Structure 1
Amino acid sequence: MSLEVDFRHRQGDFALAVAFDAPDGITALFGRSGAGKTSVVNAIAGLLAPDAGRITLGGTALFDRAARCNLPTWRRRLGYVFQDGRLFPHLSVRQNMTYGQRFAPRGATGPTLDSVAELLGIAPLLDRRPGGLSGGEKQRVAIGRALLSRPRMLLMDEPLAALDEARKAEILPYLERLRDETALPILYVSHSVAEVARLASRVVVLENGHVARAGPAEQVLSDPGMVHQIGLREAGAVLPATVARHHADGLTELAVSGGRLFLPLTKGAPGTAVRVRVLAQDVMLARSAPVGLSALNILPGKVVSLRDGDGPGVMVQIACGDDLLLARITRRSAQALGLAPDGPVFAVIKTVAIARSDVSRS
């Protein structure tokens, strides 16, 4: 079931003009604060009526200005998860979750309370009140309530923004399970590159109310042209990989299209598909295969492009097998190496530069 969005809307001096599609899986709507992300989600949910355009889900029009179609929110069958859980404090977790069932169409099929509670790890919390829950637990309850409304799609507007790092780490595995074990398309709004890299199969980048880039996460996040939107320190690439083996010295060996990567011990049996986020600032380059280095990860490749940034830096895009890497180096280093498109190069990545949180289920 694919969501198709194509509309225009003006709010004071701010103009929205967006067109993108969101197929099954998680599509991340990414951008800085003020880019228009929440306005887009509100238009999809029926909380905002655009000036012009069309929004469809699974071929059914939710909004069509030309045809004078604007389905009310309750008829769109969309589950909306906000930044704060917005739970009813006087109801138990069980009652909060079953409240969502009131909005399910008669005869609609979907997961049961028990299956949703198991999926989100909240079965032990069902008889508790929201006031005694952590921020991560509240958000999982809010997601469960949305799922029990039998939605055709989930809209998640920065669901982790109000959580500290510990609570984010707690809830991210459950979002991965939600992505992998349900057939629901999910539009996930975020300004966190780490969340997007870990969860999204597709990314739509918004800038000043317009779509700056849209496509598979691996392509969008490794595009040097997106560094301004993503940020220099967050710029990097996402590599699909497979767990090859675990070594006795505490390292995990991953197979990527360009060779092998050695990382600190990673969860997953051999054969498990994972994705690895590699920051551009953690990649060094060499023109010939280096020797005598402590770094274990050396991937041969070729330069795809070089893009000057602010100050003395250059962002180099490298093709390693079927994957794209980004390396952030100085302009002086690029000139000393004689880097040019199609030129051979070796990407060097320290094993300990990749945190365990940068490796996730694919």
Structure 2
Amino acid sequence: RPVIAGRVALGADALFESRRGLNLPPHQRRLGWLDAEAHLFPHLTIERNLAYGARAQGPRMKVAPGLDVPSLVKWLDLSAMMDRRPHELNASQRVRAALGRALAADPQGLLMDDPLGRVHDPERPELLELLAQVAHRFHLPVLMATPRMEEVVRMADDVVILHDGRMAGAGPIAQVLSDVSLSTFLEGFHAGSILEGAVTRHDIEWVVSEVDICGQCVTVPATLHPVGTRVRLKVRARDVSLHREVPTDSSSTNVLRGRITQVMLAGHSGTYGAVGVELARELDERLELKAGAQIWGLVTRQAIEQMNWQPGEPCVVGFNAMSAQVTPLPWTSSKRG
């Protein structure tokens, strides 16, 4: 029988601590739960399901702003289904209702286990936007498990990578998801880097937008996010090219200056290797690079050896605007209500 040991806490409040023999019962933990099954009471209407959640608040404290049932109904767009029962709703609607019931209980934190697992693809983006707002809208810590990388990029501040039941990596999202040594556990050949910046301009004529990354301009497909919005860019390592000088004849609309930090080869006879580049935050008068974000390029071993790429060398990173996937940071949204 496996030994369960360790400590689980919300802030300074321990929920479980094996050394002290502490293991709070569920009703004292006050944690909300949401998964793909929704687990709504089938014999109750959505209105009564929400009312059940509200009754679970208990005498702990006054309900946090926005967590009263009328506010949740409006935010989650549940008004048209209040008289219906769970079996009359589709998967997306059931998740909305279950999220409302969990939040109505005024939890101290929210646990989510693949909540979009049964939601059809066309309905996922809008529901994902709602989930991404929870932590900052209601000032709640959120822990979410999901197998889909687009949900991680949209939701997470910090990431833990689990492989075969063990932790393979942990840390800030930009650091962990840009670590090509974890690509086997993440997206394999689709692995890449996460860059964080802010939208600075929209070009209506060319239908593109510009994002500031470490003081350098990156062009991306036109985004609806307003100027000033903090965003994340996902760039696949296989879409990145490396140059010694800015190319004069290339379809890569993005050329960023940086310095090589690491060269990783897949063995002495492997086909490819990964080159890590720290982007320049800015260039001073002597053209000395200052530390910025990290981006990886996946190139052939032949190219690495022929170019003789070495750590410490300045280089230029190139990638096409269409290679960048843009996602707002979790605490930013153009749909706040």
State whether TM-score is above 0.5.
yes
Q: 2:255 aligns with which of 273, 293, 298?
A: 298
Q: Which structure's residues are more often strand, by fraction?
A: 1
Match of 2:318 among 348, 352, 358: 348
Q: Deviations over 1:304-342 (max 9, x none)?
A: 112234841212221113211121111112122221111
CA distance in 1, matches of 2:189, 2:154: 17
1:174 aligned residue: 130
Q: In structure 2, the residue corresponding to 1:163 is in which secondary structure? A: coil
Residues 1:126 and 1:315: Cα distance change in structure 2 (over 3 Å): farther
1:127-138 aligned at under 5 Å gives the runs 127-138=83-94
Q: Which residue of 2 aligns with 1:93?
A: 46
- The structure 1 residue matched to 2:27, chosen from 58, 65, 74, is 74
CA contact (8 A) 2:198 2:211 kept: yes
Provide the secondary structure at the position in 1 that maps to 2:217: strand
Letter in 2 for 1:347: V
Bigger relative CO (Cα 8 Å, ≥ 6 apart): 1
Structure 1 residues 128-137 or 218-227, which shifts more?
A: 128-137
SS in 1 for 2:119: coil
SS of match in other structure, 1:228? coil
Q: Match of 1:203, SS?
A: strand
Unaligned runs of 5+ in 2: 282-291, 331-337
In 1, the alpha carbon distance for the partners of 2:42 and 2:156 equals 32
1:195 aligns with 2:165: no
2:9 matched to which residue of 1?
A: 56
- Does residue 267 of structure 2 align to residue 314 of structure 1? no
- The answer for the alignment partner of 1:235 in structure 2 is 191
Does the 8 Å CA contact 2:229/2:328 hold for their aligned counterparts?
Answer: no
Q: Give the equivalent residue in structure 1 for 2:73.
A: 117
Deviation string 1:204-240 (CA, Å, 9 cap, x unpaired) is: 1222333222111111111122112113233112211
The equivalent position to 1:360 in structure 2, one of 308, 319, 328, is 328
Residue number among 224, 231, 236 corresponding to 1:274 in the alignment:
231
Change (3 A) 1:338 1:60: same
Contact 1:222 1:317 in 2 (8 A): no
State the shift of 1:349 in Å: 1.4
Distance in 2 (alpha carbons) for counterparts of 1:339 and 1:351: 25
Counterpart amino acid of residue 194 in structure 2: V
| Maintained 8 Å contact 1:114/1:123 | no
Query: Following TM superposition, by how much is the alpha carbon of 1:92 offset from its aligned partner in structure 2, in angstroms?
Result: 2.1
Give CA-to-partner distance per residue, 1:99-146, whole Å, 9 cap, x none: 212322215322111222233333433333322323222112111111
Structure-1 residue corresponding to 2:58:
105
TM-score (norm 1): 0.81
- Give the Cα–Cα distance (whole angstroms) in 1 for the partners of residues 77 and 329 of structure 2: 18
Give CA-to-partner distance per residue, 1:224-283, whole Å, 9 cap, x none: 221121132331122111111111221111111151111111012211211121121221
Instruction: State the identity as a percent.
Output: 31
Post-superposition shift, 1:191? 2.0
| Residue 217 in structure 1 maps to residue 170 in structure 2 | no
Distance 1:92 1:287 in 2: 65
Q: TM-score normalized by structure 2?
A: 0.86
* Bigger-Rg structure (1/2): 2
Structure 1 segments (4+ residues) deviating >4 Å: none
8 Å Cα contact 1:258-1:323 kept in structure 2: no
Partners of 1:294 and 1:240 in 2: CA distance: 23
The alpha-carbon deviation at position 343 of structure 1 amounts to 1.4
User: 67-76 vs 151-160, which deviates more?
Assistant: 67-76
SS at match of 2:152: helix
Given residue 217 of structure 1, which amino acid in structure 2 is its aligned partner? I
Question: Separation in 1 of the partners of 2:44 and 2:210?
Answer: 48
Match of 1:165 among 117, 121, 125: 121
* 8 Å Cα contact 1:119-1:178 kept in structure 2: no
| Number of matched pairs | 313
8 Å contact from structure 2 (residues 56, 105) kept in 1: yes
CA distance in 2, matches of 1:162, 1:281: 31
- How many angstroms does 1:64 deviate by? 2.0
Conservation of the 8 A alpha-carbon contact between 1:79 and 1:147? yes
Counterpart position of 1:29: none
Give 3-state SS (helix, strand or coil) of 2:185's partner. helix
Q: 2:142 aligns with which of 182, 186, 192?
A: 186
Q: Distance in 1 between matches of 2:77 and 2:316?
A: 43
8 A contact 1:81–1:143 mirrored in 2 = yes
Asked if the contact 2:45/2:82 (under 8 Å) is kept, the reply is yes
Question: Aligned residue for 2:334?
Answer: none
CA distance in 2, matches of 1:334, 1:69: 55
